[in-house]
C-alpha cells in the first residue's frame, strides 16, 4: 500500500486519533497496527516525503512568525521516544526547533507549581518545541506513585489519602486550561502516546541488557516500573480521556513496529501544519522599492 505525503489521513485515523470526550480503553488499540503498510520500505518512502515537506513547512512557520507548535511525546520505557524524535525531525533546521526532556523535578522546580518548568520551555512564535515527557508526568507517574505529590508541598495535601479523584480531576482541568490558553495565543498542540505492548517492551529490555552498546539505556528502576504496568495503563487511559480536546488532541500511535510509528508521527505533524495555511511573508511596494535601491547599491559599489 502506498500513500502520498499530502493525503495526511492519519490525523483522523480512528485507530489513533482520540476524539474528545472518548472514554479510552487501551486494550482496544492494536500495538501492531500498521494502517495497511506491508513493509518498512513503503512506510519509509512516505516518511522521507514528509520529512522533506516538514522542513519546508517549518521554514514558513519560522518566517511567518505567527504560530508555534508543541509536540508532546509520552510513552512507557523503550517505546521509542528518542528514536522517533531523531528520525522525524532529522530535516528540521535546529534554529527553529527545541527538544526538552523532562526528568525528575529538581528542588527549584518543586518550589513552584507543576507547570512552571513547562512554561519556561514553551515555544515562541515561529518555533517547534518537542517535549520528551512533559507536564503529563504529573498525572501519570504521580498517579501511580501518589506519594510523590507530597513532595510538592501543596496546601491542604498532607497525606496520600487526599490525592483522590477530586485532586486528579482538578489537575486535568488545570492542564486543559493551560493548553487552551497556549492554543488561543497561537501554539498548535499535538500529543502522542507511543503505545508499545508489554511483550515488545520485554524484548527491548532484554536487548538493552544483552547488547553492550545498549547497556547505557537500561536502568534497574525500569524493571520496577514495569511491575506496575496495569497501573500505568490506567493512568494513561484517564489522562488521555480527560485531556484530548479539539485544541490539543491525543494520538495513540502503535509502537511495536518502530518504522510505522515514526511514519505515522511524521505524517500527523505535517498534516497539522498543512492546515495552518502557512506562507512566506509578503512585502509592500515601498519595501520592494527599498530592496531595488539596495540591489543597485550592491551592483554599483565598485563605482562609488
Tens-place pLDDT, residues 128-138: 999 999 999 99
Averaged over 291-296, what is the pLDDT? 91
pLDDT digits (tens, 9 = 90+) for 41-84: 889 999 999 999 999 999 999 999 999 999 999 999 999 999 99
Is 1 inside a domain boundary?
no
Residue 1 pLDDT more than 80? no
Is 138 inside a domain boundary?
yes
Q: Which residue has the higher pLDDT, 1 or 77?
A: 77
Residue 6 pLDDT more than 80? no
304 pLDDT band (50/70/90 cuts)? low
Residue 230 pLDDT more than 70? yes
Question: What is the model's pLDDT at position 11?
Answer: 84
- % of the chain at pLDDT higher than 70: 97
Structure-block grid coordinates of residue 216: 547505557
Is there a contact between 181 and 245 (Cβ–Cβ < 8 Å)? no
DSSP string, 45-89: HHHHHHHHHHHHHHHHHHHH-S-EEEEEEEESTTS-HHHHHHHHT
Residue 284 pLDDT more than 50? yes
User: CATH no. for residue 48?
Assistant: 3.40.50.300
**Beta strands 250-254; 187-195: pairing state:** parallel
Q: Give every strand in the sheet of 187-195, ordered side by side.
A: 17-18, 250-254, 187-195, 68-75, 128-132, 97-101
Question: What is the model's pLDDT at position 2?
Answer: 41
Is there a contact between 270 and 4 (Cβ–Cβ < 8 Å)? no
Question: What is the model's pLDDT at position 302?
Answer: 75
Q: Which residue has the higher pLDDT, 8 or 5?
A: 8
Is 119 inside a domain boundary?
yes
Is 57 inside a domain boundary?
yes
Structural domain count of the chain: 1
Residue 286 pLDDT more than 80? yes
Q: Which residue has the higher pLDDT, 211 or 121?
A: 121
- State if pTM tops 0.95: no
Is 2 inside a domain boundary?
no
Residue 232 pLDDT more than 70? yes
Averaged over 150-170, what is the pLDDT? 96
Residue 202 pLDDT more than 70? yes
- Measured CA to CA, the distance from residue 156 to residue 247 in angstroms comes to 32
pLDDT digits (tens, 9 = 90+) for 174-199: 999 999 999 999 999 999 999 999 99
Is there a contact between 262 and 270 (Cβ–Cβ < 8 Å)? no
Q: What is the mean pLDDT of the chain?
A: 93
Question: Which domain does 200 fall in, by range?
Answer: 9-303
Is there a contact between 101 and 165 (Cβ–Cβ < 8 Å)? no
How far from each other are the two terminal CA atoms of the chain, in whole angstroms?
63
Is 170 inside a domain boundary?
yes
4 pLDDT band (50/70/90 cuts)? very low
Amino acid at each position: 500500500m502506498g500513500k502520498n505525503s499530502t493525503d495526511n489521513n492519519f490525523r483522523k485515523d480512528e485507530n489513533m486519533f482520540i476524539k474528545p470526550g472518548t472514554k479510552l480503553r487501551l486494550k482496544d488499540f492494536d500495538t501492531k497496527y500498521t494502517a495497511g503498510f506491508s513493509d518498512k520500505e513503503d512506510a519509509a518512502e512516505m516518511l522521507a516525503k514528509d520529512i522533506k515537506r516538514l522542513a519546508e513547512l517549518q521554514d514558513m512557520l519560522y518566517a511567518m512568525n505567527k504560530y508555534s507548535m508543541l509536540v508532546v511525546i509520552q510513552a512507557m520505557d523503550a517505546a521509542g521516544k528518542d528514536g522517533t524524535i531523531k528520525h522525524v525531525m532529522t530535516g528540521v533546521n535546529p534554529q527553529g526547533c527545541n527538544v526538552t526532556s523532562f526528568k525528575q523535578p529538581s528542588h527549584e522546580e518543586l518550589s513552584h507549581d507543576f507547570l512552571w518548568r513547562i512554561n519556561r520551555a514553551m515555544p515562541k512564535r515561529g518555533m517547534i518545541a518537542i517535549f520528551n515527557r512533559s507536564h503529563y508526568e504529573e498525572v501519570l507517574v504521580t498517579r501511580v506513585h501518589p506519594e510523590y505529590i507530597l513532595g510538592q508541598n501543596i496546601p491542604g495535601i498532607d497525606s496520600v489519602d487526599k490525592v483522590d479523584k477530586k485532586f486528579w480531576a482538578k489537575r486535568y482541568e488545570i492542564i486543559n486550561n493551560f493548553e487552551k490558553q497556549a492554543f488561543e495565543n497561537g501554539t498548535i498542540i499535538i500529543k502522542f502516546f507511543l503505545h508499545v505492548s508489554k511483550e515488545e517492551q520485554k524484548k527491548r529490555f532484554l536487548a538493552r541488557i544483552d547488547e553492550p552498546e545498549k547497556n547505557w539505556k537500561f536502568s534497574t528502576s525500569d524493571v520496577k516500573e514495569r511491575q506496575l504496568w496495569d497501573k500505568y495503563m490506567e493512568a494513561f487511559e484517564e489522562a488521555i480521556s480527560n485531556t484530548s480536546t479539539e485544541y490539543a488532541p491525543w494520538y495513540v500511535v502503535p509502537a511495536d513496529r518502530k518504522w510505522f510509528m515514526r511514519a505515522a508521527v511524521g505524517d500527523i505533524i505535517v498534516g497539522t501544519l498543512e492546515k495552518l495555511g502557512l506562507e512566506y511573508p509578503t512585502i509592500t511596494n515601498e519595501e520592494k522599492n527599498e530592496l531595488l535601491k539596495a540591489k543597485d547599491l550592491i551592483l554599483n559599489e565598485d563605482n562609488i
